[in-house]
Structure 1
Amino acid sequence: MPSRQPLGRQYSIHPTKSRPTYRHARQAWSTAGIGTDSARRRAARPKDLSSRDAASTITDAGLLQLDDPDLPDGWQMFPDMTVPEYRRYAALRVEALNHALRGIPPERVRLHVCWGSGHGPHRDDIPLRDIVDLVLAVPAGCYSIEAANPRHEHEWTLWQDVRLPEGASLMPGVVGHATDVIEHPELVAQRLLRFAKLVGAENLIAGTDCGLGNRVGHPEIVWAKLEDLSEGARIASRALSRHSR
């Protein structure tokens, strides 16, 4: 496979062929876990029940959202890994996460994955197709994914071949943080209708690619995007209602 170049929000762009420097390495994906399979398992497995206890406390009161951008984005940390090697590495992290979620009702859990919120080329993002089974292996009632930016919007077709777990819903991003341009409600509706045909309207929730916050130019842009997301969802709902008659 062609080598991945240091191109993207994580890397500085250098003219040399030296290994790129990852600027935003997170503790959960520390290279301390790299080595033998047994060493990786020891590094990934929770050392105590504190994570599960905290999760139980949250779900007893409502919904637990797990933000795991590193499941796709951790790929950028290891440019020498092949996809199969990275899948083995990521699978151990999923195993650790599932260990922490034991006993938590899936319907109380929402999992968010993305490829990082930085504004960059994202040319070397790992395709969703290569990891979607790992994402869906986490016992969650809802899966939130990026689907509105120009690098990943095309991946909606993946759901022609991939089935959600029984009882789960999908929350694709239909507005995003990658641009200050405010998505038109009709575009939002079109995006939702594509997914509705594949996963069923009853299993679909309109979402954002990632947290908007200060990732766009002004708070008014955030509110405008959310307003048009809501209007687009209403347009899609009306269209689905007409078609069901």
Structure 2
Amino acid sequence: MSKLNNKVAIITGGGSGIGKAISELFAQEGAYVHIVDLNAEMAQPVVDSIIAGGGQAKLHACNVAEQMEVKRVVESIGRVDILVNNAGIAHVGNLEKCSIDDFDRVFNVNVKGAYNALYAVVPVMKANGGGAILNLASIAAVVGISDRFAYSMSKGAIYAMSMSVARDYMADNIRSNSISPARVHTPFVDGFIAKNYPGQEAEMFEKLSKSQPIGRMAKPEEIAKLALFLCSDDAGFMTGNDYPIDGGFIKLNN
């Protein structure tokens, strides 16, 4: 029996990287996957691939930072059993190198975007008798990382919102957890390194890989497998927690 048979899942930022891996795995496990992504050109091939493989998926081009857009998408879907808040952007810089525009951009996507999805989906889950929420936090929520002021702020907020929702909606049979990946090798990471460290790509990739005690970055598929477990009925007794998937970064970097 597939783990997500007859489940309806919304995955924000599901058209690339970690979100793509989650979308593909959830569809393989029987979920009807609704990918909510700003970049329709990138996300549509993911939907097409899922359908070609016998799965169910639909793309909703949407800016998660716009509450009414998110609300319309959720209303069009109807029942929602699973919400994965994955959409996010990064920023390199300490406090002094984080302009108000930089701060607002990260906040609007990473924090407000997750809030908008939660705000739209939780009442639907309540009406339907419950659901599972998974928010993508980060090791940056709990440890200090150089030059990640705005990003760390946003992931700390994700962590806190996840715990708050878990507490407030436990009686409604809604589970809420977060996961905190360390660095994950995605096309985003390759582009990020190329943009911020031109001419030093190989050196920086090696440095960022070795910052995990296990000696490498995670694969998106590894994050997806943890997401699948936490959103499945197998994790029915698990709520109000953050689960690091970090190659030992938090506890073993000593």
Report which of the two has the higher share of helix: 2
What's the TM-score once normalised by structure 2's chain length? 0.34
Question: 1 or 2 for the larger relative contact order (CA 8 Å, sep ≥6)?
Answer: 2
- Greater CA radius of gyration, 1 or 2? 1
Report which of the two has the higher share of strand: 2
What's the TM-score once normalised by structure 1's chain length? 0.35
